[in-house]
Structure 1
Amino acid sequence: MTSTTAPTHQARLTLTPNTALAGLLDGAWWPYSRDLATELPPLVDALRARWGRVTRVTANPASWPVAPREVAVGEYAVPVGWFTGQDLDTMMLLSYGLTRCDLLVIPPETEPASAARLMAAASTPGNLHTTGTLMAGEETSIR
């Protein structure tokens, strides 16, 4: 198990409001680094009130330089599944409370204005854009 100390920061997270208007994403997360062992605990803590205890996470290993099999989150460990077929900028979290939460993962090096636009777009109720479409659209607007 990958060990971690208490989080030193809160997760930069925006979630879709609770609404009947479902979309493809449940929100966006903008980690401070590409160190999943450091970044995942504050994310899991931030999601707990809405989704319950996170029991598993999946991601694409190309976005994370170290791919731990599990990450310590308080008194328990969250297993991490690595799938090369999953979108680079997507993280799926499974929980007891709600079956899954799909998040756009904004690269840590993203400029704040771009990150704010991406977070707003991903958390819009009824959003039908994939993570790839959102990221490509933001890259186009920066140029």
Structure 2
Amino acid sequence: MNPTATGSTTGPTTGTAGYTGITGSPAARRQPHHAPPPVARLAIAPATGVARRTDGVWWPRSADLEAELTELLPALPFDWPRITHATANGALWTPLPTLTLVAGHVIRLRRLPDRPGPPTLCLVAAGLGRWDLRVLPPRTAESDAVRILAGVATGAIPADAPLPGEGPAPRRRERSRAAPPGHPHAVRNR
């Protein structure tokens, strides 16, 4: 049996009929190079044993949530379940469709433009949990945004701390974020 004809050879070959490996000119051997995807500008607050209202901070590039979700959702921590719903709170966001497709999954979208307080994004995994992100407006100065993102990631700045020029965050009752007993995410330290 000719191993070259079956494709079981390990090295590049040229001119062998039936072989689909690397052949011919250098241009035929080049693999397409794709630019890396943009990095989601996201900081998740460190896990603690204390319940908190906000799980992290996100600095989107625009107010178009439908477009921004394609960067955000793949950047979420790997132990978060698949997000099925997103609610955008605040007047920052442009109007949204009710459904969008992100990475092959349908996400239900909702926009609450009249909600008081800073813009937030509530991400829900149906039946599994909810995660709230404070949203830094896209026009936030880069130096301020980087400082806030770094502070939230290290725990030095609470994720719901007021931004420069903002009043204090509105008070609301803390809620338990525990997953149902026996669920794989039930052990998550919040």
TM-score grouping bracket, smaller chain normalisation: 0.7 to 0.9
Q: How far is the alpha carbon of 1:122 from its aligned partner?
A: 4.5
TM-score computed with the length of structure 1 as normaliser: 0.75
Q: How far is the alpha carbon of 1:126 from its aligned partner?
A: 9.1
TM-score computed with the length of structure 2 as normaliser: 0.58
Given that residues 26 and 122 in structure 1 are in contact (C-alpha distance below 8 angstroms), is that contact kept between their aligned partners in structure 2? no
Instruction: Map 1:1-143 onto structure 2 (within 5 A).
Output: 8-47=37-76, 49-60=78-89, 62-83=91-112, 84-85=114-115, 87-95=117-125, 98-123=128-153, 124=155, 127=158, 130=160, 134-135=162-163, 138-139=164-165
Q: Which has the higher strand share?
A: 1
- State the SS of the aligned residue for 1:62: coil
- State the SS of the aligned residue for 1:44: helix
Listed one character per residue, the Cα deviations across residues 102-142 of structure 1 (whole Å, up to 9, x for unaligned) are 11100111111111233245453893x74xx513xx126xx
Given that residues 151 and 157 in structure 2 are in contact (C-alpha distance below 8 angstroms), is that contact kept between their aligned partners in structure 1? no
Q: How far is the alpha carbon of 1:57 from its aligned partner?
A: 0.6
Q: How far is the alpha carbon of 1:20 from its aligned partner?
A: 1.5
Structure 2, unpaired ranges of 5+: 1-35, 167-190
Q: How far is the alpha carbon of 1:79 from its aligned partner?
A: 0.4
Distance 1:61 1:16, change over 3 A: closer
Q: How far is the alpha carbon of 1:39 from its aligned partner?
A: 0.5
- State the SS of the aligned residue for 1:50: coil
Distance 1:47 1:96, change over 3 A: farther
Q: How far is the alpha carbon of 1:94 from its aligned partner?
A: 0.6
Q: Which has the higher contact order (CA 8 A, sep 6+)?
A: 1
CA RMSD in angstroms, aligned pairs only: 2.7
Q: Which has the larger radius of gyration?
A: 2
Q: Identity percentage over the alignment?
A: 34
Listed one character per residue, the Cα deviations across residues 59-100 of structure 1 (whole Å, up to 9, x for unaligned) are 136211232212211111110122232644111101158511
Q: How far is the alpha carbon of 1:9 from its aligned partner?
A: 1.5
